Structure 1
């Protein structure tokens, strides 16, 4: 069982993570407002997977991003309309369709990646190199542990014991 100090530190980390996510959401919303053709973050994640992992079937893509096929279908349709993804016949099974990032999709991915990396480099520019390395190391460790912990089934918690009523002859449990 974690100590009170462990829980207080976890609360501080949790609070900072919540703050970071909110700041990122706000920044993304501002970007969306400034760029009407921008792709939603969840939809962009599909493009990222297709660029990094290569052509995939929609079902495999849905599994990779932990989403349901109907959501993926709608998001892929949007990427196809934008010319960032195309549907092709699966060479191994002519009845199936593969989703493939287009040249434009790869260009958009690389441009977004470049801008993100440059912004982070600018933010960290006045940090000592060792601090930047340590941040990268700790973030990698944290995200790995987070992913692994999220995949573990949590043990079922025991229901709370019924309240005990004091009686003259001892104590007895009250009915729930």
Structure 2
């Protein structure tokens, strides 16, 4: 271990405070769309990268298949996502953003960028770039830590994911 425990403790405390502040901010945000609750926003961002099966989407956003399935239904009803046939397996379906869903994500990305820009208004460009580099490194470490837990999923969970459409 290269990080001193006292430093790790301070970082952990700072992270808790940051998560609490972000959570409070998130609660004050208006609903971005009548059919998109705050909990389904990560799903839309994941689909912006590529269409996915519900089971794969659940893995990407670190959620369970039943929750994601419910969210997909609501988003589909609101015209933000659509189910399409999987070109690799005609029996399966992928969830894809609609044009309206894509427009919503683009608008949200722009609003988030303006918000972060305002938060960092007294930072130099070098400080912001260093923060982005370190935050990405931290996120990669977190993903690497979480990944082994996903590998130990129970057979019931795995089989339900494979059969999900």
TM bracket (short chain): 0.7 to 0.9
Unaligned runs of 5+ in 1: 154-176
More helix per residue: 1 or 2? 2
Deviation at 1:90, TM superposition (A): 2.4
Question: 1:91, 1:115 → 2: CA distance?
Answer: 34
Query: What residue in structure 2 maps to residue 46 of structure 1?
Result: 43
Deviation at 1:78, TM superposition (A): 1.1
- The number of aligned residues is 149
Question: 1:27, 1:39 → 2: CA distance?
Answer: 17
Larger Cα Rg: Structure 1 or Structure 2?
A: 1
Question: 2:11, 2:141 → 1: CA distance?
Answer: 14
CA contact (8 A) 2:58 2:65 kept: yes
Question: 1:9, 1:47 → 2: CA distance?
Answer: 36
Of 67, 73, 76, 1:77 maps to: 73
Deviation at 1:149, TM superposition (A): 2.5
Structure number with the bigger relative contact order (C-alpha 8 A, sep ≥ 6) is 2
User: What is the TM-score normalised by the length of structure 2?
Assistant: 0.80
Change (3 A) 1:150 1:87: closer
Unaligned runs of 5+ in 2: 150-165
Deviation at 1:27, TM superposition (A): 0.9
